[in-house]
Structure 1
């Protein structure tokens, strides 16, 4: 049944002489969608599904039927110099008649007022009880400079449609925006999204990227604490920074209450629930996302990932095929081939691997995929040839996610020592693909092995802590990264291994006495009144009794063992064999 207060905003037609102004008409359309999405009681079709009908000559009643909406807003934009003409018509999709038709001839700087006027007109038509005097939840964060807004719309289009190498172009435009409009919250939120992307795929140092996300998102909230775009970006930052699944689900629930019609939020929730093995809830969230945004290639792609992870390969392929000819952002063809391998459709999979180039977002190299395929097919000689080819490529050229690919190859070679080593490096570096390790059918042959379960538990669940200090500062750390903690008066120095396997330090204003209860791990042991050591790391016992020290060879650091704790510590950890003398 179609909800009476449902509406789809179709892409406004660019009537300007300059076809390059398309980003402007698309941007205005998206802004109206965003405004309406914040009005409770109105169901708004997501951008991607509305834009699926761009440049299509279809009867609005047919569009309404496909999108499941009672109303459609369509219009056009003509821009000439500093003047803009916007036409807008709200059409009832059941009867085909116009609810209203308006024409706005204004200066470009009035475009924000036009957006709000159109949204208010729609709201009045769909919610008769909402009067013109009622407070609307529209953002007041509009730039005063029209050039800044123009750059903002250009950056949005690049970020939405672009390939990884285009993100820096969006970043440059957002920086130009805030340079001339330092109080424009959405400009800072845009910059935060760019650095969130860099940090998530680790195209730059992860810590440096997330530090920038924090700076920009805090600046956005300082200007506009209710900024929805900022809160969505903040959710991504929280999750990708430390993989804190319970905290991410908690904040998602709160944000969805504020924006229940966001397919993006429901997709995010579905993916996190999948990672946490809450399969039925994940599918329910994904069904809702598909209902809200049925033509979104992003939603379809994530639905395909969920179905693949739950071993519903035919259904996964159907979802991927929805976007096969409509996406430059995803490795759709490869994922179809990968599902076909698991369905034993080897010839079909080989055809894709032999004819489709690797995608920038593709995780598994073609050579590795072919080695896996031939081994599953039982053609051992060909499998070994492709394993050798893949190993050679990984040694001689830049391949995304090398440790992940090496872990697969050594699993095929049944070399468990090297497989565990590279799988642990993948999890420790927190690259995106590692999130799905526990639920990916690829790892099913080793999923019940104690070492696999130990790695998953160590890097994905109970080992991330937010250390509280005597100031407002908090420090989030994955405990397996910590080497040792040293007290310095009322401060503590946390010495840890960063994602680049280099030694890093963080000084916090908190005593060792107050910090120790925040670390509930058996591997963290007080060896001295000023030191706590993590015995998950490799330590060597050096020196003589009463003067023992623990030495980490990798980083050439030493930690003392006090006389009073010598007997207790040595008896405990010698029995466990966690260090050598």
Structure 2
């Protein structure tokens, strides 16, 4: 590593982060593909694992980039600098004495991100990525280079009784200069008016033209209740954990938000997502969850027909849970992207749907956009890898995952990282390596049925029949509603029981098993593409083949 560092003129001071691992701009180099990282588990150093770096492309542009950052300068594009219309809103500091007021400061920040995300002329980094900069001592140019964002918004909130003081500053990440700053001393109930004013000022100073519809939506608060907003934000936090306990806590907070404001459409949309994903991750029975999810999302749209989050949720639910109607689902997801262009999850879900319909180039573009908006998100990294997998560009998918893990070692503790790395390697015929990754995914997920099925399939392909049959038995003995005939069909496919596999697929079609179209359209069942029985299923589902 030190040899590679000397070759690229990276000093030891800039090589490592303050708390171990790689330095910030080295991680940025890896994400851009200018440096390639490889992790060697037996080597240890500051912060644990040491990564060996090597220059991947022409040394001169890499050298210029490294030198500029090492000297404390800002990364400049050929166009003259980082795009100022790409914004990162950092977590707001709570200046209140009461620790519980930190949630209120988070709510102010979350709502500002949501409003700015409506503007088609802006690209707003997701909160899940900017959270990494809470209480950071990094400069705006450093943050801007890591997120490829030319504008940084910082703020603080002080709450005292019914009075609030909100201080905002807009910083140019290219120059570290302040573009605009203002303080607001108002009544607590004026918080939404403050957020509207800040949003308008930001677009004004960045010279971004607002469409009339965008201006109207930016000026309309999602709720008049600060209590409901705080509860919703807590629900969002737990929803993002994607664990059984996390889903339960999220549902509880979203329900409390609805109690605080029965007309809070976003909270209903949050409930819809929880009901769907809790079942999709194997923590609840699918059909009952689908019904609840549909009820919640339709209520959200009834309350706010222009709510992007609700349209995205509706598209996802009707496609995966109700009737596999991909045309209506695509319409809903594209509406979500139109209503909120910086809504990363809408781009992510649209990518997945497009992949399943064989529109691979656009699917990859949407996945890249989702990752651009949420660069530190594990889910967005795996979605891009999935898009490459579906397009049979496995090596590019593996490269995405390995680069992400090198830039952020904690990514390798995410079970979907191992799941997709396993699927990609199995697709390349690397069965031993694929099995190892899938075993890790099953362990980290606490035995999710869909991942067990992937493992059983991989074991069968690797010739480990005894272990594959044990997985099959475990699935057959599993809780009904969580394990589906589709899971069983996948393991039988790996074992080479093609007739049994096709029979189970036909049964899953009749049962309208959730996610059936998604799975059948993927590469796993592609080896049966010459079967007239599978062709018939694909024709009924309107899946390109």
Coarse TM-score class (shorter-chain normalised): 0.7 to 0.9
Which of 325, 328, 337 is the aligned partner of 2:410?
325
Structure 2 residue aligned with 1:293:
374
Query: Number of matched residues?
Result: 456
Alignment correspondent of 1:306: 387
Deviation of 1:248 (Å): 2.1
Q: 2:309 aligns with which of 204, 216, 229?
A: 229
Within-5 A mapping of 1:488-503: none
Who is 1:422 aligned against?
Answer: 504
1:562-577 pair list within 5 angstroms: none
Give unmatched runs, 5+ long, in structure 1. Answer: 463-581
Q: Deviations over 1:299-319 (max 9, x none)?
A: 211111111222333322233
Residue 244 of structure 2 contacts residue 283 of structure 2 at CA under 8 Å; is this kept in 1? no
Is 1:151 aligned to 2:231, yes or no? yes
Which has a greater percent of strand?
Answer: 1
Give yes or no for contact 1:367–1:386 (8 Å, CA) kept in 2: no
Alignment of 1:97-116 (within 5 A): 97-116=177-196
Query: Is 1:456 aligned with 2:525?
Result: no
Matches within 5 A, 1:523-562: none
| Alignment counterpart, residue 517 of structure 2, candidates 410, 435, 445 | 435
Unaligned ranges ≥5, structure 2: 1-78
* Aligned match of 1:337: 422
Answer whether contact 1:45 1:292 (CA < 8 A) is retained. yes
Q: Equivalent residue for 1:279?
A: 360
The aligned residue for residue 496 of structure 1 is none
Alpha-carbon offset, residue 28 of structure 1: 2.4
Distance in 2 between the 1:260 and 1:211 partners? Answer: 28
Q: Which residue of 2 aligns with 1:169?
A: 249
Q: 1:234 to 1:394 in 2, by over 3 A?
A: closer
- 1:410 matched residue in structure 2: 492
| 1:371 and 1:386 in contact (8 A); partners too | no
Is this contact kept in 2: 1:89–1:98, CA < 8 A?
A: yes
Deviation at 1:360, TM superposition (A): 5.3
1:129-149 residue CA offsets vs partner (Å, 9 max, x unmatched): 779xx9542253444443333
Q: In the superposition, relative to structure 1, how do residues 185 and 55 fare at CA in structure 2: closer, same or farther (>3 Å)?
A: same
TM-score normalised per structure 1: 0.69
Deviations 1:295-337 (A, max 9, x none): 3322211111111222333322233342662487752223223
After superposition, the C-alpha distances for 1:442-500 in whole angstroms (9 at most, x for unaligned) are 223212211111122234569xxxxxxxxxxxxxxxxxxxxxxxxxxxxxxxxxxxxxx
Cα separation, partners in 2 of 1:11 and 1:202, compared to 1, 3 Å: same
Kindly state the Cα deviation for residue 389 of structure 1 after the two structures are TM-superposed: 1.8
Q: Which residue of 128, 144, 147 maps to 1:64? A: 144
Aligned partner of 2:28 in structure 1 is none
Equivalence map 1:32-43=2 (5 Å): 32-43=112-123
Q: Deviations over 1:163-189 (max 9, x none)?
A: 234223222222222223223332333
> Using the alignment, how far apart are the partners of 1:396 and 1:211 within structure 2?
26
CA distance in 1, matches of 2:113, 2:487: 41
Q: Determine the structure 1 residue equivalent to 2:346.
A: 265
1:537-561 deviations in Å (ceiling 9; x for gaps)? xxxxxxxxxxxxxxxxxxxxxxxxx
Q: Deviations over 1:13-35 (max 9, x none)?
A: 34455656554433322211110
**Other structure's SS at 1:157 match:** helix
Distance in 1, Cα, partners of 2:244 & 2:114: 25
Seen in structure 2, the aligned counterparts of structure 1 residues 294 and 236 have a Cα distance that, compared at 3 Å, is same
- Name the SS of the counterpart of 1:166 in structure 2: helix
Partner of 1:488: none
- Match of 2:137, SS state, is coil
Alignment of 1:187-198 (within 5 A): 187-198=267-278
| Higher alpha-carbon Rg | 1
For 1:199 and 1:333, how far apart are their aligned partners in 2?
Answer: 21
Alignment partner for residue 201 of structure 2, among 111, 118, 121?
121
**Alpha carbons of structure 1 residues 79 and 424: separation in structure 2 relative to 1, 3 Å:** farther
What are the superposed Cα offsets for residues 208-257 of structure 1, whole Å, 9 maximum, x if unpaired? Answer: 44443444334333433322332222222332321111222234334433
> Does structure 2 retain, via aligned residues, the 8 Å contact 1:293–1:299?
yes
1:95 to 149, 171, 175: 175
Alignment match, 1:49:
129
* Residue 180 to residue 278, structure 1, CA distance change in 2 (3 Å): closer
Is the 2:203–2:209 Cα contact (8 Å) retained in structure 1? no
TM-aligned CA deviation for residue 122 of structure 1: 0.9
Say if 2:451 is the partner of 1:369. Answer: no
What secondary structure sits across from 2:259 in the alignment? helix
Taking a change above 3 Å as real, the CA distance of residues 461 and 327 of structure 1, as seen in their structure-2 partners, is: same
Residue in 2 that maps onto 1:552: none
Higher relative contact order (CA 8 A, sep 6+): 2
1:77-97 deviation per Cα after TM superposition (whole angstroms, max 9, x unaligned): 344555544322110112111
Contact 1:438 1:447 in 2 (8 A): no
> d(CA) in 2 for partners of 1:282 and 1:197?
21
Instruction: Output the CA distance in 2 between the equivalents of 1:171 and 1:418.
Output: 39
**Relative to 1, partners in 2 of residues 1:179 and 1:90: Cα closer, same or farther, differing over 3 Å?**
same
SS for the counterpart of 2:392 is coil
Flag the structure with higher helix content. Answer: 2
RMSD: 3.4
Corresponding residue for 1:470? Answer: none
Is 2:492–2:498's contact at 8 Å kept on the other side of the alignment? yes
Paired residues of 1:297 and 1:326 also in contact (CA < 8 A)? yes
- Contact 1:174/1:190 (8 A) holds in 2: yes
